[in-house]
């Protein structure tokens, strides 16, 4: 599938992002009420260009962990800012397809439309899988925003060229906010409410936090 290819040149990858952008839907499915929420993350080997891609499934409400899948693979696509999808998406999609439980929504450690071409990793995964996705990034890629109050749950709109592309969300007092943006089949308001349901007192939403822990655990079994 072209949208998963790691053999594209950077120029062709950018052209593909611009093409896929036209398929992004910034509206959740009708009567959207997710029960199973997935979280994804990828850990890189310290020794080689090997990725450990993890997806976990949690049940709402309560955030009970019900499934995890891990895929290990070697990437051939170079690290280029804005083209992270072409390094990570193939392994994440393989892991998601191994799940016995189909997720209703996926929280991704990366950007959704808060991306120069509105096609971050969350949007790329959403279009490939035809599933609702939300980008939950730890740092800003693009956009401007005002200061976020310290109270958990407060946020500031993230804007780029006059367009609302996400929110900067305070998830815990005294720590840096996270950058939440719709990926696919999602809007900003719904993304906010889902992420808020997934908080357990940490900076990161529980699905991506657990995926991060599992990805590092898988990597450390090999690297040490």
Please give the pLDDT value at position 4: 55
Q: What DSSP element (H or E) covers 73? A: strand 64-74
Q: For position 220, what pLDDT does the model report?
A: 80
- How is domain 29-138+184-223 classified at the CATH fold level? archaeoglobus fulgidus dsm 4304 fold (3.30.2170)
Cα–chain center distance at 10: 21
pLDDT score, position 6 = 64
Crossing angle of helices 85-97 and 121-129, rounded to 10°: 40
**H or E segment to which residue 188 belongs:** helix 188-197
Per-residue confidence (pLDDT) for residue 159, from 0 to 100: 97
Task: Summarize pLDDT for 123-156 with one digit per residue, the tens.
Answer: 999 999 999 999 999 999 999 999 999 999 999 9
Phi-psi region of 161 (alpha: psi -120 to 50; beta: other; left: phi over 0): left
Question: Measured between alpha carbons, how far is residue 189 from residues 1, 131, 157, 192 in Å?
Answer: 32, 17, 11, 5
Pairing of strands 178-184, 50-59: unpaired
pLDDT of residue 173: 93
Q: Write down the pLDDT at residue 224.
A: 41
Sketch the domain layout of the chain as residue ranges: 29-138+184-223
In this prediction, the residues of the chain whose per-residue pLDDT falls under 70 are 1-6, 46-47, 221-224
Neighbours of 14 (CB within 10 A): 18
Query: How crowded is the C-beta side of 32, counted as CA atoms within 13 Å?
Result: 19
pTM for the full predicted model: 0.94
Per-residue pLDDT at 218: 83
């Amino acid at each position: 599938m072209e949208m998963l290819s790691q053999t594209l040149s950077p120029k062709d990858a950018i052209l593909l992002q611009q093409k896929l952008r036209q398929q992004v839907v910034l509206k959740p499915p009708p009567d959207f009420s997710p029960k199973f929420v997935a979280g994804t993350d990828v850990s890189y080997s310290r020794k080689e260009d090997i990725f450990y891609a993890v997806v976990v499934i949690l049940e709402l409400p309560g955030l009970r962990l019900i499934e995890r899948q891990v895929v290990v693979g070697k990437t051939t696509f170079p690290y280029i800012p804005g083209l992270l999808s072409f390094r990570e998406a193939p392994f994440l999609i393989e892991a998601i397809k191994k799940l016995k439980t189909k997720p209703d929504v996926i929280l991704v450690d990366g950007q959704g439309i808060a991306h120069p071409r509105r096609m971050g990793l969350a949007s790329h995964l959403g279009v490939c899988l035809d599933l609702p996705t939300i980008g939950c990034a730890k740092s800003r890629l693009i956009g401007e925003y005002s200061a976020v109050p310290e109270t958990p749950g407060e946020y500031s709109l993230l804007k780029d060229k006059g367009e609302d592309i996400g929110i900067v969300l305070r998830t815990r007092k005294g720590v840096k906010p996270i950058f939440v943006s719709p990926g696919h089949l999602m809007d900003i308001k719904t993304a906010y409410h889902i992420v808020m349901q997934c908080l357990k007192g940490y900076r990161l939403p529980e699905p991506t936090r657990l995926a991060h822990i599992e990805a590092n655990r898988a990597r450390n079994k090999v690297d040490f």
